[in-house]
């Protein structure tokens, strides 16, 4: 029986466990039914090892519940970055990681066969018991690092010749490097794929952390690999295929779409991919944390046309919904706002109301109008004005009536 190891081969596995048990949260061993309890114990031990110092637990009638506990105001870097350091590797992976750059730095423009020959004659020949590597193994690693941007290739006939890529840090002074590392520390916590900045700073030697952040959406780093693949597909105007998992669905759906834009909810931290769904033939959005096993498929001639369509429609989407029939819904809200003492409320309506209009229709009375694809997306925002809403109406009668009924029901609780 294989022994327990903290390293993993597939990051999607640790991504699922981390999100399900610690981000969505508070699941105990008995709540996990997809696999055996032993599998849960192994993954829990791995995560506790990666996040030592951040794992807390509490016990209730259901059992022992584990969760991440952090003070984000005291964090200078995302503790979940350590998850990316847990990928397993073989002895050949380790050997080629150091030897290939050294060979190509000294001898640029080599073929895979040339690299294999130099590796055998100059690096491995001194080891009596080391098994020589075949050309296919070396070529696969060369291509992997070429895809990662470490190597470049030039084709001569049918043969590829490999060379090292020049890096930014080879061209700047030590003082400039220190300044760049300071910028990297800031941006690694605020931009997608920030884990790359974490690796750069780690490889250049740890520097003093000078930034702290009020809000860090830590779980974003679990989706960084997905983000990078999507960004490559968008840049190449290519379609993608992936499995879409939802907390509400028991089985994933396989989708083939044309990715157009990644958007972020800055309040709640959720990230979405807006696409053109080839099967439904309309704009559709997917949560990034629901996407798995993503692959780039082929170039699409529709990219520019659909991106233009999205650009025109996006101002009328309150969030990321575009409606099944792409028809706009009208909403009108009458608000009571004392503009003399509550000017901040009026400013908030204008600031957060997107492309809606605000008109004064009476003393301390303002009418807010807007057209959106999905009225339901506005409901959480509208709830923040309960107590100021005089009346509300719109073309989506079902959503409006539900909002009114919910408000009346809530008011009834206070009348008891």
Length of the chain: 416
8 Å CB contact between 388 and 336: yes
Report pLDDT digits (tens) over 392-404: 999 999 999 999 9
Q: In the CATH scheme, what is the code of domain 91-165?
A: 1.10.10.10
Per-residue model confidence (pLDDT) at position 147: 84
8 Å CB contact between 301 and 258: no
Per-residue model confidence (pLDDT) at position 164: 87
Per-residue model confidence (pLDDT) at position 169: 47
Per-residue model confidence (pLDDT) at position 171: 58
Look up tokens 């506005």; give the residue: 378
4-8, 31-35, 178-182 — which one is most confidently predicted on average?
A: 178-182
Which residue ranges make up each domain of the chain? 11-69, 91-165, 169-216, 223-316, 329-415
Nearest to 221 by CA among 200, 250, 198, 192: 192
Give the SS3 label for residue 60.
strand
Per-residue model confidence (pLDDT) at position 1: 39
Nearest to 282 by CA among 249, 247, 248, 317: 317
Per-residue model confidence (pLDDT) at position 207: 58
Per-residue model confidence (pLDDT) at position 16: 75
Look up tokens 């290519």; give the residue: 238
Per-residue model confidence (pLDDT) at position 33: 66
Whole-model pTM: value is 0.74
DSSP alpha helix (H) spans, 79-134: 91-106, 112-118
Per-residue model confidence (pLDDT) at position 74: 65
Report pLDDT digits (tens) over 22-62: 666 656 777 766 666 677 777 777 777 777 777 777 777 77
Q: Could you name the CATH architecture of 329-415?
A: 2-Layer Sandwich (3.30)
In whole angstroms, give the CA distance from residue 149 to residue 164: 9
User: Maximum CA pair distance of the chain?
Assistant: 93
Per-residue model confidence (pLDDT) at position 329: 93
Per-residue model confidence (pLDDT) at position 168: 46
Query: 177 pLDDT exceeds 70?
Result: no
Q: How far is CA 304 from the centre of its chain?
A: 24
Report pLDDT digits (tens) over 129-176: 777 788 999 999 999 889 878 898 998 888 899 998 876 445 556 666
Q: Which residues pair with 66 in a beta bridge?
A: 57
Report pLDDT digits (tens) over 209-265: 777 766 677 778 888 889 989 999 999 999 999 999 876 777 788 999 999 999 988
| CB < 8 Å & 24+ apart, contacts of 241-250 | 241/294, 241/295, 241/297, 242/291, 242/292, 242/293, 242/294, 242/295, 243/291, 243/292, 243/293, 244/286, 244/290, 244/291, 245/290, 245/291, 245/292, 246/290, 247/24
CA distance readout (Å), 172 to 149, 176, 180, 186, 204: 19, 6, 10, 20, 14
Give the lowest-confidence range in 97-101, 163-167, 200-204, 296-300. 200-204
Q: In the CATH scheme, what is the code of domain 223-316?
A: 2.30.30
Nearest to 300 by CA among 358, 259, 343: 259
Q: What share of the chain is helix, strand, coil (3-state, %, to 5)?
A: 45, 25, 35
């Amino acid at each position: 029986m294989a022994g327990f190891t903290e390293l993993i081969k597939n990051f999607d596995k640790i991504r699922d466990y981390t999100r399900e048990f610690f981000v969505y949260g508070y699941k105990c061993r008995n709540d996990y039914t997809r696999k055996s309890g032993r599998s849960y114990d192994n993954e829990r031990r791995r995560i506790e090892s990666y996040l030592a110092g951040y794992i807390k637990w509490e016990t209730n009638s259901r059992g022992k519940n584990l969760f991440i506990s952090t003070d984000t105001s005291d964090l200078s870097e995302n503790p979940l970055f350590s998850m990316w350091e847990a990928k397993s590797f073989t002895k050949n992976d380790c050997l080629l990681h150091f030897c290939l750059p050294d060979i190509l730095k000294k001898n640029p423009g080599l073929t895979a066969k040339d690299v294999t020959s130099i590796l055998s004659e100059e690096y491995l020949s001194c080891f009596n018991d080391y098994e020589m590597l075949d050309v296919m193994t070396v070529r696969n690693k060369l291509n992997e690092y070429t895809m990662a941007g470490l190597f470049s290739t030039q084709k001569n006939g049918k043969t590829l010749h490999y060379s090292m890529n020049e890096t930014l840090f080879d061209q700047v002074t030590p003082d400039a490097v220190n300044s760049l590392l300071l910028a990297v520390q800031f941006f690694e916590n605020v931009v997608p794929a920030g884990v790359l900045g974490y690796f750069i700073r780690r490889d250049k030697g740890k520097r003093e952390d000078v930034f702290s952040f009020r809000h860090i959406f830590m779980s974003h780093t679990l989706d960084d690999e997905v983000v990078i693949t999507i960004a490559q597909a968008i840049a190449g105007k290519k379609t993608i295929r992936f499995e879409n998992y939802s907390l509400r669905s028991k089985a994933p759906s396989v989708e083939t779409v044309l990715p157009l834009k990644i958007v972020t909810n800055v309040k709640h931290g959720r990230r979405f991919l807006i696409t053109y769904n080839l099967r439904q033939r309309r704009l559709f959005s997917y949560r990034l944390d629901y996407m798995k096993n993503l692959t780039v498929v082929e170039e699409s001639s529709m990219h520019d046309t659909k991106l233009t369509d999205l650009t025109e429609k996006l101002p009328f989407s309150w969030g990321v919904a575009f409606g099944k029939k792409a028809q706009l819904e009208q909403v009108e809200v009458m608000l009571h706002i004392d503009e003399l003492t509550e000017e901040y409320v009026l400013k908030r309506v204008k600031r957060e109301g997107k492309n809606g209009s605000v008109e004064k229709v009476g003393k301390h009375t303002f009418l807010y109008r807007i057209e959106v694809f999905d009225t339901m997306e506005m409901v959480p925002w509208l709830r923040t004005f309960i107590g100021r809403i005089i009346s509300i109406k719109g073309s989506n009668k079902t959503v409006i009536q539900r909002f009114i009924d919910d408000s009346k029901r809530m008011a009834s609780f206070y009348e008891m």
